[in-house]
Amino acid sequence: MSTSVASSESASTSSSGLKPSGLNPSGIGASVLRREDARFITGNGRYTDDIRVEGQVYAVFVRSPYAHAKVTRVDIGDALATPRVIAVLTGADMQADGIGGLPCGWMVKQKDGTDMRSPNHPPLVVDKVNYAGEPVAIVIAETVEAARQGADAVAVDYDELQAIIDLGTATDSSEIHPGISNNLAYEWELGDRAATDAALASAAHVTRLDLTNNRLIPNAIEPRAALGVFDATTGEHTLYTTSQNPHLERLVLSAFVNIAPEHKLRVIAPDVGGGFGSKIFIYSEETAVIWAARRVRRPVKWTADRSESFLADAHGRDHLTHAELGIDASGNFVALKVHTVANLGAYLSTFGSSVPTYLYGTLLAGQYRTPNIHVEVQGVFTNTAPVDAYRGAGRPEATYVVERIVENAARELQQDPAELRRRNMIQPDQFPYQTPVALVYDVGDYEKSLDKALGLIDYDGFSARRKISEAKGHHRGIGLACYIEACGLAPSKLAIALGAGVGLYESGEVRMNPTGSVTVFTGSHSHGQGHETTFAQVVSDKLGVPFDAVEVVHGDTGRVEFGLGTYGSRSLAVGGSALIRASEKIINKGRKIAAHLMEGAEEAVDFSGGRFSLRDSNRSLSIQEVAFAAYVPGNYPDDLEPGLSEKAFYDPQNFTYPAGTHIAEVEIDGETGVVSVVNFVAVDDFGRIINPLIVHGQVHGGVAQGIGQALLEIGLYDSNGQLLTGSMMDYCLPRADDLPDFVVGTTVTHCTHNPLGVKGCGEAGAIGSPAAVMNAVTDALGVDEVSMPATPEKVWRILQGRSPRRMA
Amino acid sequence: MQITLTVNGTLRELDVPENTLLVDILRERLRLTGTHVGCDTSQCGACTVHLNGRAVKSCTVLAGQADGTSVLTIEGIGTPDVLHPMQAAFRECHALQCGFCTPCMIMAAIDLVENHKELDNKSVREGLEGNFCRCTGYHNIVRAVLSAAEKMAAKA
């Protein structure tokens, strides 16, 4: 049985509980408890490493200890002689088998009109290493221990080269990739440079700010893993792996990497223990594993240890930015100019090129009417792990720039930061709103979220709370961030015109079974988001069938026709919309069947609440009865196929634009420099909400990651390219006692262009919170800027009047 | 080496290499895959089980140390039909998302409740410091533990 605890689209706080709506207890808007929980809370989840296939053997990768080096010799003799080692395979073996490089899926055009420059990225190193931890060889053995011993016995000769690590000087350094001068993948720009320069020159006030957006290491708690199985009798390859998008994995491995034809490659992403972006990408390891399974004719399993995750999962963020905001005498923003150097790491990861461009520059209008915006981005190679999408992907970086500089501007102008923002916000009657940076926002009511957030945090009471803190020798600060994001990627024509290698629609199939239950297939993938529950709510609501009669299938290219997967808060807006379209087709066909059975005209058949009824009669049929008739078509229209199963591909018309206000209040211990987030309010407009319980959970998790970025987390390399933060002992993930309870509220304007009116909620928490926290920290300290993370040491030095020691 | 231990109430006699970790015994030998491995430095807590009634990280217990002990894992505390109050509370409070840290967060939380009186928000947060969750931001986990603590106290 499904259980509903409550529902509310405008629940004010998540800690105060949710109020029931009194509508369909399991339909849209109800806080249905998650059905997937039953297996997770009892230890019955089935993650990749839990799967065991008869005869499986184990892979361990030999990884480069150097960040930049020529590989002159790989001697596998001793490794092969290690007991129970089956095979040692190298990049040369892979090349000989015709396995290609890992492609970047998004070709960014440079400002001069030429294509970006993308180096070849062989899954296993062939002759040159470009980051510490890059895989050089794969060792396969009967046990993990034997594979480790074998890996230790592989002798690799390296000629170490100068590592290019520092982002600020990388463009003036020697080339990492031959022929890619200045280590520049691209120089990209958006907006009107001349108009922006002119508006800045004539502005009454200009606020200038230099910012770093710290490198983050995603750290999903489940490490990446892969299990490759090859059936020599059929030529079928099956890859179980920790993926957010198994169909994309299959497409890339088939079309670009040449692992196997698409129909001979099945990719299964079973239960996946968190992704946050890091499991979108097509990595070396699963590529090597499925290929090796064919080579050794045994199932091959690899599970990363956490050290490997740190070294070889794609990292996030890592920008250096200079921004200038021009304001007229009345307090109106007149221009924003941004220059960003974005670290792409050693190679262009799957979506790495698009994150600091199309997902960043396009968001720099924020919630404001700023008429002139220009952004220039240099995408730079360094000898570090590839950088790609991490929760928010470009949008947290954009929000950080806009909301930090707006906050500083308010301080310089001695205006209330909330009121300066309010003055410049796009108004509800101005939608659709064309920004100067390409996007057209469809709908929003930004002041509503701002006002609700100000109320929830008791903004007016802050000065009294600050006095109490000061009396204790502490420093209290408050900071806002009014963010916007573009989600629901993406209109395919637009994405492809901008260089995407694939369309960004989503597929869905709704299958009425003969007995009236429903099996739903989606190309989206759930790795914590709760699709098995929310997608069932959507279809249950649309078709008027019981929630418990709807099963949701995802994550297997052998069961689901196609899909683009889950990232960019797109699942519900795009994948959910596909299910609505498929359900509409079910209803349309059902109407024909029902009309025939009720001996009426199709046009006279209405569908509501799971029943087809013939207008002006007392005749009606349930959708279950119609489904049975479709599969047992004795009395059935001659011109209609039997069966009741429909597919849809939904291609969005626009991005969706979730937006809201996050406010952080911090207290800084005057003696230790420890920053505590004492109050945190997030008010978000996600459009229609399907399941408030799940939405609030998504916000909590995102905010936690954003607070982690602001106060705790940073990925650091030393000047030789050694990762200094290579373990959970060195990289500071938020623990329970680092975080406060969160107050979460929502406001609602419905997305205008998808059938559910939804916008997406997965990333907002991580997008608004870093700027809110850092605005609060700088407010508390009375300084213009503190680089993230605001560690106790850094803050303590500021409190002592000393400049922060440069961190690595 | 030969070891004997009781796992979820069943006596097990095993022959394992001396350097085998308890988590590997559980996952690979006994196929109790609800206990997970999330790191290699004993930080994440995804491998938490009860050893003689107290929560331990099974990635830091060697086979010899487990010899003669009684081990309780997530598979031993409740069933899908009869959940432990902590399991039920995690579901009711939406205290899990991807589910990977969940079994062992539950094991750590049960230990916390059973061995600490007068829990509040702060002490629950401090008590769960050894278990990482990257999905939930801990907000709902704290709610779940406090809710289960009430129910467990009422039962006791």
* In the predicted structure, residue A510 carries a pLDDT above the cut 80: yes
Closest CA to A505 of A559, A562, A555: A562
Instruction: Give tens-digit pLDDT for A160-188.
Output: 999 999 999 999 999 999 999 999 999 99
Instruction: Give tens-digit pLDDT for A617-643.
Output: 999 999 999 999 999 999 999 999 999
CA gap A668, A666 in Å, rounded: 6
Please answer yes or no on whether A42 and B83 come within 8 Å at the CB atom.
Answer: yes
Closest CA to B63 of B21, B107, B108: B21
Please answer yes or no on whether A271 and B99 come within 8 Å at the CB atom.
Answer: yes
Please answer yes or no on whether B97 and A305 come within 8 Å at the CB atom.
Answer: no
Cis-peptide into A135, omega within 30 deg: no
Classify burial at A616, counting beta carbons within 10 Å of its beta carbon; exposed 0-12, middle 13-18, buried 19 or more.
Answer: exposed
* In the predicted structure, residue B78 carries a pLDDT above the cut 90: yes
**Closest Cα in chain B, distance from residue A255 (Å):** 30
**Of A46, A698, A736, which is closest to B141 when you measure between CB atoms?**
A736
For A166-191, give one letter per residue: b (16+ CB within 10 A) or e: ebeebbebeebbeeeeebbbbbbbbb
Give the pairing type, strands A475-484 and A659-668: antiparallel
pLDDT band at A325 (very low <50, low <70, confident <90, very high): very high
Instruction: Give tens-digit pLDDT for A34-93.
Output: 999 999 999 999 999 999 999 999 999 999 999 999 999 999 999 999 999 999 999 999
Rama region for B68: left / alpha / beta (φ>0; ψ in -120 to 50; rest) = left
**Closest Cα in chain B, distance from residue A707 (Å):** 10
Please answer yes or no on whether A306 and B32 come within 8 Å at the CB atom.
Answer: no
Give the per-residue pLDDT at B155: 80
* In the predicted structure, residue A3 carries a pLDDT above the cut 50: no
As given in the structure block, the two tokens for residue A673 are: 């420099």
CA gap A559, A525 in Å, rounded: 13
DSSP state for residue A423 in the 8-state scheme = H
Q: Give contacts of A41 with chain B, Cβ < 8 Å.
A: 74, 83, 87, 90-91, 96, 99, 102-103, 106
Instruction: Give tens-digit pLDDT for A710-723.
Output: 999 999 999 999 99
Closest residue on chain A to B40 (Cα): A306
**Of B31, B91, B131, which is closest to A33 when you measure between CB atoms?**
B91
Please answer yes or no on whether B126 and A737 come within 8 Å at the CB atom.
Answer: yes
Residue that has been written with the tokens 């916007």 in this structure: A484
Instruction: Give tens-digit pLDDT for B5-45.
Output: 999 999 999 999 999 999 999 999 999 999 999 999 999 99
Q: Give contacts of A47 with chain B, Cβ < 8 Å.
A: 33, 36, 100
Q: Give contacts of B90 with chain A, Cβ < 8 Å.
A: 37, 41
Please answer yes or no on whether B37 and A49 come within 8 Å at the CB atom.
Answer: yes
Pure H helices in chain B: 22-24, 63-66, 85-92, 102-115, 121-127, 139-155
Question: Mutating which of B134, B136, B141 best tests the A interface, going by the most A Cβ atoms within 10 A?
Answer: B134
Any A CB within 8 A of B96 CB: yes
Question: Mutating which of B100, B107, B131 best tests the A interface, going by the most A Cβ atoms within 10 A?
Answer: B100
* In the predicted structure, residue A389 carries a pLDDT above the cut 50: yes
Q: Give contacts of A222 with chain B, Cβ < 8 Å.
A: 36, 38, 98, 100
List beta partners, residue A57: A300
The percent of residues in chain A predicted with pLDDT above 90, rounded, is 95
Cβ atoms of residues A228 and A729 within 8 Å: no
* In the predicted structure, residue A768 carries a pLDDT above the cut 80: yes
Any A CB within 8 A of B129 CB: yes
CA gap A117, A108 in Å, rounded: 9
Q: Give contacts of B129 with chain A, Cβ < 8 Å.
A: 735-737
Q: Give contacts of A662 with chain B, Cβ < 8 Å.
A: none
CA gap A177, A676 in Å, rounded: 44
CA gap A402, A677 in Å, rounded: 22
Give the per-residue pLDDT at A25: 83
Instruction: Give tens-digit pLDDT for A552-584.
Output: 999 999 999 999 999 999 999 999 999 999 999
Q: Give contacts of B131 with chain A, Cβ < 8 Å.
A: 736
Name, in order, each residue with C-beta under 8 angstroms of A599's C-beta and a sequence gap of 6 or more. Answer: none
Give the per-residue pLDDT at A26: 87
Q: Give contacts of B137 with chain A, Cβ < 8 Å.
A: 700-705, 734, 739, 742, 765
Closest residue on chain B to A736 (Cα): B125
Residues 2-21 of B with CB under 8 A from A: none
* In the predicted structure, residue A329 carries a pLDDT above the cut 70: yes
Closest residue on chain B to A693 (Cα): B94
pLDDT band at A7 (very low <50, low <70, confident <90, very high): very low
CA gap A3, B95 in Å, rounded: 16
Instruction: Give tens-digit pLDDT for A224-237.
Output: 999 999 999 999 99
For A739-761, give one letter per residue: b (16+ CB within 10 A) or e: bbbbbbbbbbbebebbbbbbbbb
DSSP state for residue A40 in the 8-state scheme = H
**Closest Cα in chain B, distance from residue A301 (Å):** 13
Pure H helices in A188-283: 193-201, 246-255
DSSP state for residue A101 in the 8-state scheme = P
Give the per-residue pLDDT at A22: 42
Please answer yes or no on whether A5 and B92 come within 8 Å at the CB atom.
Answer: yes
All domains of chain B, ordered by start, with CATH? Answer: 2-76 (3.10.20.30), 85-155 (1.10.150.120)
Question: Mutating which of A2, A36, A41, A694 best tests the B interface, going by the most B Cβ atoms within 10 A?
Answer: A41
Cis-peptide into A789, omega within 30 deg: yes
CB atoms within 10 A of CB B78: 18
Single-letter code of the amino acid located at A567? Y
Q: Give contacts of B33 with chain A, Cβ < 8 Å.
A: 43, 46-47, 49-50
Name, in order, each residue with C-beta under 8 angstroms of A114's C-beta and a sequence gap of 6 or more. Answer: none
**Of A41, A223, A704, which is closest to B91 when you measure between CB atoms?**
A41
Please answer yes or no on whether A704 and B137 come within 8 Å at the CB atom.
Answer: yes
All domains of chain A, ordered by start, with CATH? Answer: 49-161+219-312 (3.90.1170.50), 319-489+654-799 (3.30.365.10), 505-650 (3.30.365.10)
Instruction: Give tens-digit pLDDT for A656-671.
Output: 999 999 999 999 999 9
Closest residue on chain A to B82 (Cα): A42
Q: Give contacts of B102 with chain A, Cβ < 8 Å.
A: 40-41, 45
Please answer yes or no on whether B98 and A727 come within 8 Å at the CB atom.
Answer: no
Q: Give contacts of A681 with chain B, Cβ < 8 Å.
A: none
**Of B40, B91, B97, which is closest to A697 when you measure between CB atoms?**
B97
Give the per-residue pLDDT at A14: 37
CA gap A728, B44 in Å, rounded: 8
CB atoms within 10 A of CB A464: 9
pLDDT band at A365 (very low <50, low <70, confident <90, very high): very high
**Of A5, A220, A272, which is closest to B134 when you measure between CB atoms?**
A220
Any A CB within 8 A of B118 CB: no
* A493 phi/psi in degrees, rounded to 5: -60, -40
**Of B79, B106, B139, which is closest to A742 when you measure between CB atoms?**
B139
Closest CA to A50 of A218, A306, A270, A268: A270
CA gap A14, A18 in Å, rounded: 7
Start-to-end Cα distance in chain A: 55
For chain B, the average pLDDT equals 97
Cβ atoms of residues A512 and A644 within 8 Å: yes
Closest residue on chain B to A40 (Cα): B99
Tell me the Cα Rg of chain A: 27
* A268 phi/psi in degrees, rounded to 5: -120, 120
**Of B37, B41, B136, which is closest to A700 when you measure between CB atoms?**
B136
Cβ atoms of residues A30 and A716 within 8 Å: no
Most distant CA pair in chain A, distance:
87
The percent of residues in chain A predicted with pLDDT above 70, rounded, is 96
| Sign of the four-CA dihedral B103, B108, B110, B111 | positive
Length of chain A: 808
* In the predicted structure, residue A798 carries a pLDDT above the cut 70: yes
Instruction: Give tens-digit pLDDT for A138-161.
Output: 999 999 999 999 999 999 999 999
Local structure of A174: helix, strand or coil: coil
| pLDDT, average across residues A678-690 | 98
The pTM for the full model equals 0.96
CB atoms within 10 A of CB A438: 17
* In the predicted structure, residue A267 carries a pLDDT above the cut 90: yes
Any A CB within 8 A of B141 CB: yes
CA gap A794, A115 in Å, rounded: 41
Local structure of A206: helix, strand or coil: strand
Closest CA to A479 of A445, A509, A453, A503: A453
Instruction: Give tens-digit pLDDT for A83-133.
Output: 999 999 999 999 999 999 999 999 999 999 999 999 999 999 999 999 999
Name, in order, each residue with C-beta under 8 angstroms of A511's C-beta and a sequence gap of 6 or more. Answer: A518, A519, A520, A521, A644, A645
- Report the run of H or E that residue A381 belongs to, with start and end: strand A372-381
Cβ atoms of residues B44 and A728 within 8 Å: yes
Q: Where are the beta strands (DSSP E) in A195-315?
A: 205-213, 225-231, 236-241, 265-268, 300-303
Please answer yes or no on whether B87 and A41 come within 8 Å at the CB atom.
Answer: yes
As given in the structure block, the two tokens for residue A637 are: 């229209």
Single-letter code of the amino acid located at A685? D
CA gap A723, A129 in Å, rounded: 15
**Closest Cα in chain B, distance from residue A308 (Å):** 10
Q: Where are the beta strands (DSSP E) in A125-232?
A: 128-129, 135-141, 155-160, 184-191, 205-213, 225-231
Distance, C-alpha A234 to centroid of its chain:
36
DSSP state for residue B28 in the 8-state scheme = I
Cβ atoms of residues A666 and A725 within 8 Å: no
DSSP state for residue B42 in the 8-state scheme = S
Q: Report CA-CA distances (Å) from A311 to A33, A113, A213, A290, A408.
A: 37, 34, 20, 21, 36
Local structure of A482: helix, strand or coil: strand
**Closest Cα in chain B, distance from residue A519 (Å):** 22
As given in the structure block, the two tokens for residue A432 are: 């659709």
pLDDT band at A488 (very low <50, low <70, confident <90, very high): very high
Give the per-residue pLDDT at A422: 98
Distance, C-alpha A621 to centroid of its chain:
43
